[in-house]
Amino acid sequence: MQLDPEMFDPVCPSGALPFRIGDKWTAMIVLCLENGPARFTELRVPLKRISPKVLTETLKAMERDGLVTRTAFDENPPRVEYELTALGRSLLALIGAVREWSSAHLADLLAHRERSPLSHRPGESRLAAP
């Protein structure tokens, strides 16, 4: 599994989306695993700015919920692979639906926000990007 380091647009306004799949990273991880298992460090590549702590937490939560499986190989150096379960795979359709909504309506939402005289504080950006 080779993951494209550029698979996520760094200026993608997904942070402004009125949706979240799980926490901040879950949807992206599901997408990363769509075409097969990946290793911890491989996931860190397209997820450029994720810290190991947060990646660990997110993967553990996903494993706990039955979205991914974790397989540790007894080798040296160690190797661990994460793979989508059927349940995790079932999220793909929904993520697709969110993406379709976004391509159809997100620009509209963003334009409206831009023009709005309403204060952006407090709360500033709700789900805004960093």
Partner DNA sequence: CGGAATCCTCTTCGATACTG
Partner DNA sequence: CAGTATCGAAGAGGATTCCG
Instruction: Pick one of 64, 72, 75, 130: the residue that binds a copy of itself (CB under 8 A).
Output: 64
Q: What's the half-sphere exposure (Cβ side, CA atoms, 13 Å) at 110?
A: 15
**Interaction between residue 10 and DNA (CB under 7 A):** no
Whole-number Å distance between alpha carbons of 68 and 85: 5
Length of the chain measured in residues? 130
63's contact among a copy of itself, DNA, none, with CB below 5 to 8 A by partner kind, is a copy of itself
Yes or no: say if 62 and 44 are a contact pair by the CB < 8 Å rule: no
Instruction: Pick one of 2, 76, 103, 116: the residue that binds a copy of itself (CB under 8 A).
Output: 116
Output 10 or 122, the one with its CB closest to DNA: 122
